[in-house]
Structure 1
Amino acid sequence: MDYKKLAERILEKLGGKENVESVVHCMTRLRFVLKDESQVDDEQVKKIKGVIGVMKKSGQYQIIIGNEVASVYKEICALGNFKEKTSAKKIEKKNQNIISEMLDIISSVMSPVIPAIIGAAMIKVLLTVLPMIGILSNTSQTYELLSVIGDGAFFFMPVLIGMSAAKRFNANPYYAVSIALIILHPNFISLLKGANEAGQTVKFFNLIPVTYANYSYSVIPIILSVAVLPYIEQFVDKITPKITKNFLKPMLVMLFIAPIVMVVIGPLGAIFGDMLSTAVYFIQDKLGFIAVGLVAAVFPFVVMTGMHHAFTPIKLGVLATTGFEGFICIAEFCANMAQGAAALAVSIKSKNSDIKQSAGSSAFSALVAGITEPALYGTNLRFKKPMIGACLGGLMGGLVGGFFQMKCYGVATPAIVTIPQYLEEGNPQSFLYILITLGVTVVSTFIITYVIGFEDPVEEDDEEMLEEKVTIPLNTGLNIVSPLEGHMIELSQVNDVTFSSGVMGNGVAIIPTKGQVVAPFDGTIDVFFKTHHAIGLRSETGVELLIHVGLDTVNLEGKYFTPHRKQGDTIKTGDVILEFDIEKIKKAGYELVTPIIITNSQQFMDIIVKKKDVVTANDQVLAII
């Protein structure tokens, strides 16, 4: 893949680098904050080779790339000089409660940190595997050193989160990291821990109590602290004399923020984290192993909202407390395997070589590496029915994993290569439970997806060949140009089931911007309703076409319609057949969307829609095979 060329095309379709406020990336997506999203045509972005899909969420324009997103991001930054941009546009949250907004913030802050967590988690997986196969002793110094490498990112999680949160809240990143280092300082930890064990309370100025909390592995306390930091900075900036800002402002910022974090924000963050964890595991307590299956079934939709990262602090908290997690991690594992199995079924069943390749690679990515976005957006959601198979397969696998009480001892991305993190020391049956859960998930998803099938696209080369066969000079009847000027929409979008269901035939619909109907081909007028709102045409090659101006406009009884031809007349492409008054028809309360339907569709091999947003009377809209 030519990453530079892909980056150039993306920036071009986004309205140029001038339209980009900021850009970051996560595991599979480029996340843009744009100055003006109205400049962007989503369909044009989706057509770029290398782009899997597009999402709009929380003020971000997200372009799904897949596993190679980092390389594309690097080229984007080089082309637009975006590396120097550290601020992000503040996003308005409409109709969101506090909990929803907090979860969304956690998700956006966690995304950039995930690669570091995965790297550390994979080291932990090695520490499980290597002693099992006899390569490394768990009492050796090498084991201890690797443990430090694997645990560093988790123990100092607030530092990583502080950096990420600083970008999210437009705060000074060095102040943010300093806050994290303060609450992780060994003396601070030992002071609080010692007082707690002695049944005492540490007090600030001998008056204000500092509540005991363990901030290593924590996420929410540092996010809340950094959220407050910009307000402290602004306040101190106002009260600090200009001549003393270089030395007095930094000191005052830390003197204000540190006690607030120690006394108020930190404990509140810990409480909120406990509440969130309690709520999630309350569901498990009430539903038991069924809860694992249900979460596995709906988890793809959680990923679609980007909220799956909000579960990370919950898992970390449980792992830090109990040493394992047996609910969310198991549901994630089954959901990931189901996405991969559904894409695999598409790859094997499809006759389209491009689909086979893309679905196959996305299946490998999901099953082996646990990266599901390519399978989710590029295959399963794209063809819709495979999503049903993935959800049902995830449900079945989750029920089995929950029944066997599977446990996870790490937070590496759920995948086949990270299976060792589900192995329970001293319990060899745990491996059997993993294999059964994996087998049920993959096999059931594959079978369901393969059986229910999907709409397999025509091979691109074949489609181009077919289009070449029908893209012959106009006026032959095989190519139909638009009879109106306006905006084209799909027939399924028409607010009338008679047309949208396709029962009358295939076609398109146009919302007219000019009140004129012209002949779309050479032929005759077979039917011209007395109310003039609908016309039936027949081409010289036998294509029967219905043009129905507006919905329920028959009730106007011909008012505001002016015919220029009559039933039985011979027509040539471009001849004016009918004129109508758009404004008066709208004022009368009628929709002007105009279905254009081939009523004898069943007589033809295929009808190709030439998709466009805006059409004129000379644009080809349908091709008949």
Structure 2
Amino acid sequence: MGNEKLAQQILTYVGGSLNIARHWHCITRLRFNLNDNLKVDVEKLKNLDDVMGINFQGEQLQIILGNKVNKVFSELDKLIVNENKDMPTIQNRKNRISINAFFDFLSGVFTPILPAIVGTGLLKGILSLLLVIGWLSETNVQYKVLFYISEAAFYFLPILIASSAAKKFGTNEYLAMALAGILLFPSLSASMLTDPFTINELDGFVFTGRESLSFLGMNIPNNIDYHAGVIPILLSVWLLSYINRWVEKVIPAMFKMIISPIIVLVVTSIIMLIFIAPLGAYVGTYLTEGFKWLFSFAGIFAGLLMGGSLALFVITGMHYAIFPSCFENFRRLNYDFMLLPISFVSNLAQAGATFAVAIKVKNKEFKSLAYSAALSAILGITEPAIYGVTMKLRRPFYISLFGSAIGGALVGALSLKTYQFSLPGLSSLPTYIDVKGDLSNFYYIILAIILSFLIAFILTLMTKLDESLVVRSDSSDKNSHIGNSIEQIEEKIESMKYRKTDSSLEIITPITGELIPLSQVPDATFAQKIMGDGIAIIPTGNVVFAPFDGKVSVIAATKHAIGLFSNDGVELLIHVGLETVSLGGKGFDVLVESGQKVSQGEPLLKFDIDFMKQHKVSLLTPVVVTNYQEFQSFSIVATKKNVEAGNDILIQLN
């Protein structure tokens, strides 16, 4: 499907441009904050060819597209009308204070700035590699220029976060960035705007030898380093959003442009410098120290637990909650020992399981998808593997969690660390090189990712996969087809009985009547083949017969539906009428019991057609194979419009 067409369909199914409060994307997902989530057509979104899955995370709708996300987002952005720019953000709608809203906020803040952080982090990793192999030295001018480029985004991280957070809080992003600039101003904080090579020689948190400033008798700590800080600026922008909103309400419209920015900036800055920013800095410090103590005290168990659950964090968006701590680790320790190393082994475990799936499955389309998703996971992008492959097959997902847990335990036991922020894939390997020349950390992380990959790969290869879970249940399924109309099917047979051959299974008609395609049934559950694939019958006879040898698996409490299981593994549902549940069992006479063995042609159920007509319920009876995806092919082979119970073949399976 073309990107423009896909974008148009997505826009339609999320409720149109007027339903979008905010839209953005990450590496693999379109993300939306919507004005009304009830307007989303979930089923139609799921059935789009290039959509790997959708997920509601709190207030946020996520549509997983994989590698196509950039191009589709570009087309989507063009389609959204200008009036959407004036729509209120999520903060202007009804406030919802919940853990899901918190994760949605963190996702919205960190996702847009990741390209800058990942790009510069990877550049620093490459520079570390060049230092170790001796191709560059710290005194080399080329190295210094590249180092300045790689350091800038991380050093001025508060400015990036301020802009992103302001958009999420629905406040002025330029005032927010001004707050970040104040935090980094040399005389108001301990941030050093001289040679960045001196940064590593400084105490990572509090600088001594500098006196506090006094403002109206209140002390402003200026010995705190806010460079690369996260929590202080997040709290400050949150405060700005409230003060700005209050001032906008109080100041007359004719003076807003002149007076409002002054009041907002001065009041917010003073509160920030005296209270908010120092509080945030101390929270970040103790958060880092807490995780550091946990991993030093029980590293193997902490790594095991985090490794085994990180993919679940990714699915729910909870991994964004660890981002502030990760950035604090880099700010204070110059390395991360938690999120990125364990994400690395988790991603390679997903890659291992997905690669094994690609080898095992027979479906060519899904095999191609699995190979592509495995490669993406190796490079650090796991959403295509998780949503498109392992979660669909279930067992590989559980196996990948186990492989990740073992890799995480090794990371925790060996205290492995990365020295730069980068996407946790093979390209990030240089970031595990210690510039001091010790390569043990680099070798051990290679051991950890190989271990997690092989465990997931081998165990998945040894596991039986249920390929029926990967085939779409919509009408585009290539293994299922119904002709354009039953009238166009030429008559092939007059009377045939149920038979089983080595190559096919055939199901005879259970009710005498007139056939119509399942897609014409005025009930989405059947028409969209959510229950299974098959055909529908308008009964002229009033008895349901067993269409094969097997047993009764279930009988509806209201007697209007019966489930059967054949001796050859076919699961069949016969649903007499569409609104017949409302009859409460009246007009039906069940002739068998649940669990009873039945023979082909044996009467199962009688129903009163006149009674059903009197109560104005539809006689239309869907006959569907609920496990049709377990067979290589499925087809309707009925040869005429009007069929007779017991005499005409209805469905054929191979």
- Scaled by the length of structure 2, what TM-score is found? 0.75
In structure 2, the residue corresponding to 1:288 is in which secondary structure?
Answer: helix
Number of the residue aligned with 1:562: 587
Number of the residue aligned with 2:302: 291
Q: Relative to structure 1, is the Cα distance of residues 489 and 582 closer, same or farther in structure 2, using a 3 angstrom cutoff?
A: farther
Correspondence for 2:98 among 63, 82, 96: 96
Q: Distance in 1 between matches of 2:421 and 2:162?
A: 20
Q: 1:466: Cα distance to partner?
A: 4.9
Q: What do residues 300-334 of structure 1 show as CA deviations (whole Å, max 9, x unaligned)? A: 01011112222222122122222222233221111
Number of the residue aligned with 1:10: 10
Q: Distance in 1 between matches of 2:345 and 2:610?
A: 60
Q: Relative to structure 1, is the Cα distance of residues 140 and 595 closer, same or farther in structure 2, using a 3 angstrom cutoff?
A: same
Q: Relative to structure 1, is the Cα distance of residues 606 and 159 closer, same or farther in structure 2, using a 3 angstrom cutoff?
A: same
In structure 2, the residue corresponding to 1:488 is in which secondary structure?
Answer: helix
Determine if contact 1:471/1:623 at 8 Å carries over to the other structure.
no
Determine if contact 2:21/2:32 at 8 Å carries over to the other structure.
yes
Q: Relative to structure 1, is the Cα distance of residues 569 and 50 closer, same or farther in structure 2, using a 3 angstrom cutoff?
A: closer
Q: 1:226: Cα distance to partner?
A: 1.1
Could you list the runs of 5+ residues in structure 1 that have no partner in the other structure? 494-505, 510-516, 584-593, 610-621
Number of the residue aligned with 1:154: 154
Give runs of aligned pairs for residues 385-396 of structure 1, distance below 5 A.
385-396=395-406
Number of the residue aligned with 1:219: 230
Number of the residue aligned with 1:452: 463
Determine if contact 2:125/2:419 at 8 Å carries over to the other structure.
no
Correspondence for 2:263 among 238, 252, 255: 252
Letter in 2 for 1:96: S
Q: Distance in 1 between matches of 2:561 and 2:129?
A: 74
Q: Distance in 1 between matches of 2:543 and 2:251?
A: 84
In structure 2, the residue corresponding to 1:447 is in which secondary structure?
Answer: helix
Q: Distance in 2 between matches of 1:182 and 1:409?
A: 27
Q: Distance in 1 between matches of 2:246 and 2:572?
A: 70
Determine if contact 1:161/1:222 at 8 Å carries over to the other structure.
yes
1:427 aligns with 2:452: no
Q: What do residues 594-620 of structure 1 show as CA deviations (whole Å, max 9, x unaligned)? A: 99787999x9987789xxxxxxxxxxx
Give runs of aligned pairs for residues 346-385 of structure 1, distance below 5 A.
346-367=357-378, 369-385=379-395
Number of the residue aligned with 2:609: 576
Determine if contact 1:58/1:93 at 8 Å carries over to the other structure.
no
Q: 1:409: Cα distance to partner?
A: 0.7
Q: 1:203: Cα distance to partner?
A: 2.0
Q: Distance in 2 between matches of 1:442 and 1:600?
A: 33
In structure 1, the residue corresponding to 2:362 is in which secondary structure?
Answer: coil
Number of the residue aligned with 1:588: none
Q: 1:441: Cα distance to partner?
A: 1.1
Q: 1:143: Cα distance to partner?
A: 0.8
Determine if contact 1:319/1:410 at 8 Å carries over to the other structure.
yes
Number of the residue aligned with 1:45: 45
Q: 1:242: Cα distance to partner?
A: 4.4
Give runs of aligned pairs for residues 127-206 of structure 1, distance below 5 A.
127-190=127-190, 197-198=208-209, 200-206=211-217
Q: Relative to structure 1, is the Cα distance of residues 169 and 581 closer, same or farther in structure 2, using a 3 angstrom cutoff?
A: farther
Determine if contact 1:104/1:310 at 8 Å carries over to the other structure.
no
1:467 aligns with 2:473: no
Q: Relative to structure 1, is the Cα distance of residues 484 and 450 closer, same or farther in structure 2, using a 3 angstrom cutoff?
A: same
Q: Distance in 1 between matches of 2:396 and 2:571?
A: 36
Determine if contact 1:341/1:446 at 8 Å carries over to the other structure.
yes
Number of the residue aligned with 1:488: 525
In structure 2, the residue corresponding to 1:407 is in which secondary structure?
Answer: coil
Q: What do residues 106-125 of structure 1 show as CA deviations (whole Å, max 9, x unaligned)? A: 33311111111101111111
Q: 1:489: Cα distance to partner?
A: 7.7
Q: 1:42: Cα distance to partner?
A: 1.3
Q: Relative to structure 1, is the Cα distance of residues 448 and 537 closer, same or farther in structure 2, using a 3 angstrom cutoff?
A: closer
In structure 1, the residue corresponding to 2:32 is in which secondary structure?
Answer: strand
Q: 1:284: Cα distance to partner?
A: 2.3
Letter in 2 for 1:204: F
Determine if contact 1:507/1:595 at 8 Å carries over to the other structure.
no
Q: Distance in 1 between matches of 2:387 and 2:115?
A: 21
Determine if contact 1:388/1:449 at 8 Å carries over to the other structure.
no
Determine if contact 1:562/1:580 at 8 Å carries over to the other structure.
no
- Scaled by the length of structure 1, what TM-score is found? 0.78
Q: Relative to structure 1, is the Cα distance of residues 430 and 481 closer, same or farther in structure 2, using a 3 angstrom cutoff?
A: same
Q: Relative to structure 1, is the Cα distance of residues 581 and 199 closer, same or farther in structure 2, using a 3 angstrom cutoff?
A: farther
Structure 1 residue ranges, 4+ long, deviating more than 6 angstroms after superposition: 191-195, 458-462, 478-485, 506-509, 535-538, 542-546, 564-571, 580-583, 594-601, 603-609
Q: Relative to structure 1, is the Cα distance of residues 432 and 365 closer, same or farther in structure 2, using a 3 angstrom cutoff?
A: same
Aligned positions, number = 571
Q: CA RMSD in A?
A: 4.6
Q: 1:525: Cα distance to partner?
A: 3.7
Give runs of aligned pairs for residues 97-112 of structure 1, distance below 5 A.
102=102, 104-112=104-112
Q: Distance in 1 between matches of 2:442 and 2:188?
A: 41
Correspondence for 2:423 among 394, 413, 425: 413
Q: Relative to structure 1, is the Cα distance of residues 292 and 243 closer, same or farther in structure 2, using a 3 angstrom cutoff?
A: same
Q: Distance in 2 between matches of 1:191 and 1:44?
A: 52
Give runs of aligned pairs for residues 249-288 of structure 1, distance below 5 A.
249-288=260-299
Q: Relative to structure 1, is the Cα distance of residues 445 and 465 closer, same or farther in structure 2, using a 3 angstrom cutoff?
A: closer
Q: What do residues 395-444 of structure 1 show as CA deviations (whole Å, max 9, x unaligned)? A: 12222233333221111011111111112332233333122212211111
Q: Distance in 1 between matches of 2:53 and 2:164?
A: 25
Q: Distance in 2 between matches of 1:444 and 1:210?
A: 51
Q: Relative to structure 1, is the Cα distance of residues 489 and 333 closer, same or farther in structure 2, using a 3 angstrom cutoff?
A: farther
Q: Distance in 2 between matches of 1:210 and 1:3?
A: 52
1:328 aligns with 2:339: yes
Correspondence for 2:409 among 399, 415, 428: 399
Determine if contact 1:523/1:570 at 8 Å carries over to the other structure.
no
Number of the residue aligned with 2:312: 301
Could you list the runs of 5+ residues in structure 2 that have no partner in the other structure? 193-202, 494-507, 510-514, 547-551, 593-600, 637-649
Number of the residue aligned with 2:196: none
Determine if contact 1:524/1:569 at 8 Å carries over to the other structure.
no
Q: Distance in 2 between matches of 1:397 and 1:521?
A: 64
Q: What do residues 221-255 of structure 1 show as CA deviations (whole Å, max 9, x unaligned)? A: 11111112122123323443544333222211111
Q: What do residues 545-604 of structure 1 show as CA deviations (whole Å, max 9, x unaligned)? A: 765789xx99x9x97613599999999xx9937639999xxxxxxxxxx99787999x99
Letter in 2 for 1:142: Q
1:234 aligns with 2:239: no
Q: Relative to structure 1, is the Cα distance of residues 393 and 521 closer, same or farther in structure 2, using a 3 angstrom cutoff?
A: farther
Number of the residue aligned with 1:22: 22
Q: Distance in 2 between matches of 1:600 and 1:319?
A: 52
Identity rate of aligned residues, in percent? 30
Q: 1:383: Cα distance to partner?
A: 1.5
Determine if contact 2:125/2:433 at 8 Å carries over to the other structure.
no
Q: Distance in 2 between matches of 1:115 and 1:32?
A: 19
Q: Distance in 1 between matches of 2:544 and 2:178?
A: 79
Q: Distance in 2 between matches of 1:152 and 1:160?
A: 11
Determine if contact 1:519/1:577 at 8 Å carries over to the other structure.
no
Q: What do residues 59-82 of structure 1 show as CA deviations (whole Å, max 9, x unaligned)? A: 122111123312211111111146
Q: Distance in 2 between matches of 1:196 and 1:312?
A: 25
In structure 1, the residue corresponding to 2:481 is in which secondary structure?
Answer: helix
- Mean Cα deviation higher: 387-396 or 323-332: 323-332
Q: Distance in 2 between matches of 1:180 and 1:210?
A: 16
Q: Relative to structure 1, is the Cα distance of residues 410 and 470 closer, same or farther in structure 2, using a 3 angstrom cutoff?
A: same
- Mean Cα deviation higher: 144-153 or 433-442: 433-442
Determine if contact 2:189/2:222 at 8 Å carries over to the other structure.
no
